[in-house]
Chain A
């Protein structure tokens, strides 16, 4: 593919775009992994959200009523 006399500008445009998009994707992935790690750390220390506690109690009472 011949990009002509302005090849530098064309290649620079695509390179900058790829770099910014890669940064964006990397940042979102890294943040997701860090958040999941923090949440599992909290859970392993027995700290859960109130709504999770309520759900667990509800499941327990349902299991009790079935039995």
Chain B
């Protein structure tokens, strides 16, 4: 099935309705597996048991960036390919991405206190992720400011494309600047610098979080389609009202 076949919202609702229960079940199973591995993972030789925060902090950080990447692809879909579902995909991803960014910031702060001796420093990694959170809030606010979904979608798409510059800044901030935050230890050219006993639970949790993201995104997109149907019915009702 081509992407354009999903341009029909009714067809998308039918297909996503079939996929959603399976995706939710896979997410739940993956979380059970991930928590079981997390509970059995050994303590880090330097950080002790606080390394367990990594199993939720790192996947949240990845999804914070992935959320904006999904929105960027959706923004291109809105502005370049004019795909009817693209702006809905972008709008649905924003609150989910914001939630994962907030989780990343809070868990990072709670990890930083015992390890660095402080909840927060204005270093490049932490600041760029905080800017990402503000940008998510900005896109959500923009969608709520403009009534017409088509106009709001275009404006949000432009803001999303401009904000995409922050994603490589977040990723490479630890290499470009001297930061308190540690450099990349999983995704790097020389391979992961983490022992498999900690790496495997981390990757399983990352898969579980990613499945959760897509489950929620699909559900939120379905809501967005229903919202537009409600809006068109409200407009029809207003047109049919006596005195017009």
Chain A positions within 8 Å of B, measured between CB atoms, are 1-7, 9-10, 12-14, 16-17, 20-21, 23-25, 27-29, 31-32, 35-36, 38-39, 42, 47-50
User: Mind listing 13 A-B residue pairs with CB under 8 Å?
Assistant: A5-B48, A6-B48, A6-B114, A7-B49, A9-B110, A13-B110, A20-B106, A23-B99, A24-B95, A28-B220, A42-B233, A47-B233, A49-B229
A13-B107 in contact given A35-B226, A35-B230 (Cβ < 8 Å): yes
Chain A residue numbers with a CB within 8 Å of B96 are 24
**CB <8 Å contact, A16 and B52:** no
Partner of B50, one of A6, A20, A49: A6
Partner of A13, one of B57, B95, B229, B233: B57
A16-B106 in contact given A4-B48, A6-B48 (Cβ < 8 Å): yes
Interface size for chain B: under 10, 10 to 19, 20 to 34, or 35 or more residues? 35 or more
Residue with the highest number of chain B CB atoms closer than 10 Å, among A10, A13, A47, A50: A13
Main secondary structure of the interface of A (DSSP, over half): helix
Chain A residue numbers with a CB within 8 Å of B230 are 35, 38-39, 42
Q: Distance (Å) between the CB of A50 and the closest chain B CB?
A: 8
Chain B residue numbers with a CB within 8 Å of A17 are 56, 60, 103, 107
Q: Distance (Å) between the CB of A63 and the closest chain B CB?
A: 20
**CB <8 Å contact, B114 and A20:** no
Q: Which residue of A lies closest to B236 (CB)?
A: A47
Chain B residue numbers with a CB within 8 Å of A38 are 230
Chain B residue numbers with a CB within 8 Å of A20 are 99, 102-103, 106
Q: Distance (Å) between the CB of B27 and the closest chain A CB?
A: 10
Cα A41 to Cα B52 with chains together (Å): 48
Chain A residue numbers with a CB within 8 Å of B11 are none
B185 within 8 A of A: no
